Structure 1
Amino acid sequence: MPGKRLDDEERQLIAQFLWDGLGYSEIGRRLQRPASTIQREVVRNGGHNNYRPGAAHRAASERAMRRMPAVDDLDVDDEAYSFDRSPGKVQEFHLRLVAMFRQTGLSHTAARVLAEIFMTDKGSLTATELVLRLSVSPGTVSRSTAYLQSIDLLRAERDGKRMRYFLDDDLWYRAWLSSAQRNSTWADTGLDGAEIFGLGTPVGARLKDMGQFFAFVVVDMESTRQKWLDFFEKKKRARGEVTEDA
């Protein structure tokens, strides 16, 4: 069952599949497990060339006995496979989502962090959960989440002693607004530069073109912004989320 601890039989199969030259994604499909679970299991227990199923199973049992917060104990993949979701389709979409985020300019780890949080129904994960899901260091998670917060794609709140990261309903609007502000800066800078260098000079003409282009973009984005705000307000009212002050 996806999200539950690997058993001895599954670990024996992992060793055999590795010997046969299969990759983590294919092993995951055959066992109906996330590829990330297979990768964590192998990396944690000697790596691709030194994985020993018996030793891996004993180590997992010892962790469970010590009540360590190992990834197996947290069932971190359970939620993604609830509601009768297909494990294979979930895995494929996970890879597609990460690739799409990377195409927008995010680093590999930042894209993985955002995808992990997107694929939880509650829309949030703690820093510890991200470390365990991604098999990366706390420092790596800290740097990636800080960057995502800086571009308004994540919100952080203290959850007891832990830091929890959230997706807001209006996250795309806030990210878009940051982009609009940058475009406005480009427009102002280009037009100011054109005046300084002279509109009749090659540099001035080039800067004028830049400024006018982004000025047009800003006008269009403002129109889109107002349309979205109207739509979002109607959506919140339909869900009963508008307060008296709104």
Structure 2
Amino acid sequence: MTQRDRERIAAGLADKLSYGEIARRLERPTSTITREIARNGGPGGYQPQQAHQATIRRARRGTPAPPRADTPPSGTMEEELLEMAVGAGMPTMAARVHLDLLLSEDGRRTAAELTRRLKISPATVSVAVNYLLQHGYVRRERDPRRRRDIYMIDDDAWYHSIVTSRRQTIETARATMATAETYAPDSPVGQRLAKAAAFLERVSLDMVESAERWRTLLT
């Protein structure tokens, strides 16, 4: 990314454009713009010249060694992102892997790279990425030449995670309704379960409708 690109990002932020719109104007993936801003002060503190110089310094000295697996990544914004993900229910190690992918330049890592960067075992990486795959946060591609899996986070990852969450909520709603039907409809238990099932089903439908309506922000 050139300094001119970064100046255009700053101008877009000043004009209160969405990340998706800035990315479209620069013909870049939204995830690239998101990572660029997050790594260089956030939307309220992004300075193009400082961001450009910081990138040059990182390139000269190489990527710094990652922290231990039981400590959060350095930097206030990264710590905040990690804490929010864990607070929302994501397992800590899955959150660390997800954050490392999110902040990587091209949004992709192999299992070996994740193991090396986060200093964790291959088995721990496997558990973490399986969680992320199951919940739609990342996708997996096969490198046929080297016979290895590549884990990726792209612009549609957030949409797919919502759809996956909706599917799981629907399954819970159906199971709750099936259980409710085993009780008398006018019994306290039957009524309680039926209400819960109806609530979960409606929420899941609203989630998908909202995700579809705002999906263009990711493109």
Please give the TM-score of this superposition, normalised by the length of structure 2.
0.61
1:137-163 C-alpha deviation (Å, 9 max, x unpaired): 122112211221121111122332443
- In the alignment, which residue of structure 1 is the partner of 2:22? none
Equivalent pairs counted in the alignment come to 150
The answer to whether the aligner puts 1:116 opposite 2:100 as a matched pair is: yes
Which gives a bigger RCO, structure 1 or 2 (Cα 8 Å, sep 6+)? 2
CA contact (8 A) 1:76 1:133 kept: no
Match of 1:144 among 103, 128, 139: 128
- Distance in 2 (CA, whole Å) between partners of 1:182 and 1:219 is 12
- In the alignment, which residue of structure 2 is the partner of 1:71? none
Change (3 A) 1:198 1:113: same
- In the alignment, which residue of structure 2 is the partner of 1:45? none
CA contact (8 A) 2:137 2:157 kept: yes
Change (3 A) 1:149 1:219: closer
Change (3 A) 1:201 1:179: same
Change (3 A) 1:147 1:215: closer
Secondary structure at 1:111 match in 2: helix
Please give the TM-score of this superposition, normalised by the length of structure 1.
0.55
The answer to whether the aligner puts 1:126 opposite 2:110 as a matched pair is: yes
CA positional deviation for 1:90: 6.6
**Alignment RMSD, CA only?**
2.4
The answer to whether the aligner puts 1:199 opposite 2:185 as a matched pair is: yes
Structure 1 unaligned residues grouped into runs of 5+: 1-73, 79-88, 237-246
Secondary structure at 1:197 match in 2: coil
CA contact (8 A) 1:76 1:129 kept: no
Change (3 A) 1:222 1:139: closer
- In the alignment, which residue of structure 2 is the partner of 1:107? 91
Amino acid of the structure 1 residue aligned with 2:114: L
CA positional deviation for 1:171: 0.8
Match of 1:180 among 166, 169, 172: 166
- Distance in 2 (CA, whole Å) between partners of 1:177 and 1:107 is 20
CA positional deviation for 1:129: 1.6
CA contact (8 A) 1:154 1:168 kept: yes
1:59-106 C-alpha deviation (Å, 9 max, x unpaired): xxxxxxxxxxxxxxx93339xxxxxxxxxx972222222211111222
Secondary structure at 2:89 match in 1: coil
Q: Which aligned runs of 4 or more in structure 1 are off by greater than 4 angstroms? A: none
CA positional deviation for 1:120: 1.2
Identity level (%): 31
- In the alignment, which residue of structure 1 is the partner of 2:213? 227
- Distance in 2 (CA, whole Å) between partners of 1:133 and 1:209 is 47
- In the alignment, which residue of structure 1 is the partner of 2:137? 153
1:15-37 C-alpha deviation (Å, 9 max, x unpaired): xxxxxxxxxxxxxxxxxxxxxxx
Match of 1:75 among 62, 87, 90: 62
CA contact (8 A) 1:186 1:210 kept: no
CA contact (8 A) 2:110 2:148 kept: yes
1:180-235 C-alpha deviation (Å, 9 max, x unpaired): 11222222223333232011111101111111211221332243133134x35xx6
Higher CA-based Rg: 1
Amino acid of the structure 2 residue aligned with 1:103: G
- Distance in 2 (CA, whole Å) between partners of 1:141 and 1:212 is 37
Secondary structure at 1:105 match in 2: coil
Change (3 A) 1:93 1:178: same
Change (3 A) 1:98 1:225: closer
CA contact (8 A) 1:131 1:137 kept: yes
Amino acid of the structure 2 residue aligned with 1:218: S
CA contact (8 A) 1:190 1:208 kept: yes
Secondary structure at 2:140 match in 1: strand
